[in-house]
Amino acid sequence: MRIRIAYATTYQYDSPAKAVTQALRLTPRDHDGQNVLDWRIEPDPDTRLRASEDAFGNRIHTLTYGEALSRVTILVSGEVETSNTDGVVRGAAEPLPPGVFLRDTPLTEADVELRRFAIGAMGSATHTLDRLHRLMSTLCDEVAFDTEATEVTGTAAEAFAQRRGVCQDLSHIFIAAARTADIPARYVSGHLVRADGAIDQQAAHAWAEAYVPALGWVGFDPANSCSPTEAYVRVAVGFDYLSASPFRGARSGGGDERMTVKLRVAEAARQTQS
């Protein structure tokens, strides 16, 4: 599948902000099943982007504005060619050993209730892959997708207690549950060509990956109860949302900040015709 992505994120400040810095994890990398054909990041106002790589192997572009600003817009556009690997991730940059991803974070720490759920969801299955598929399926049934239920700073335990959340929350819950079973798991940010045909989307997508002996890293999307297919574009990984977030920034002043996102994801031919 050839996927076209167009992404515009705007930050507006109540008063001019100084020393605005943004770290952008917006650029996908090639691996088996994913080939980046074209990718551009265009900040407005224009400024130089400093490219680097973080500890997880993600591509990062850092932009910095020295002058005072009331608005910053970051435009992203590109095309990625994908093929189905049944969720198995091979050929990706892997600077860290899998065991590192057993580490808990404040967003993914499991409480007693979540630990109990993980044990019950995996049941009597003995093979790691079977246990993870059972976990994903049960989680999708137990936790309703609800864009109004949680905040971006919410934890896995909080979302599970409500039994409601968005893809970020379901991914955090899956990761927390897998780690309680001593299975390395990590957060993935990226994009999805939606099955319902919706091209205009409110935000990037999120799912999880877990390490399976003899297979390596395998993707699991508990929001849709499936492993990633050719409809997915994988962009960044981390311990949780914060370490894989598309945008992380700092500034001086500016008062309240408002962020608006316009995102279009579709097969290239469909996007051209729309």
Instruction: Determine the pLDDT at residue 100.
Output: 98
List, for residues 196-244, the tens digit of each pLDDT value.
Answer: 989 999 899 999 999 999 999 999 999 999 999 999 999 999 999 999 9
Radius of gyration of the chain (CA): 19
pLDDT in tens, 41-91: 999 999 989 999 999 999 999 999 988 999 999 999 999 999 999 999 999
User: What pLDDT is attached to residue 274?
Assistant: 43
Q: Of 25, 24, 29, 8, which is closest to residue 234 (Cα–Cα)?
A: 29
Backbone angles phi, psi at 54, to 5 degrees: -90, -175
- pLDDT tens-digit map of 114-159: 999 999 999 888 899 999 999 999 999 999 998 877 777 899 999 9
| Dihedral sign, Cα of residue 89, residue 93, residue 97, residue 101 | negative
Task: Give the pLDDT mean for 152-174.
Answer: 94
What confidence score (pLDDT) does residue 270 get?
54
Q: Which domains does the chain have, with CATH numbers?
A: 2-82+246-273 (2.60.40.2250), 88-244 (3.10.620.30)
pLDDT 10s digits, 237-265: 999 999 999 998 888 888 888 999 999 99
What's the pLDDT score for residue 273?
A: 44
> Around Cβ 263, how many Cβ atoms within 10 Å?
18
The pLDDT assigned to 89 comes to: 97
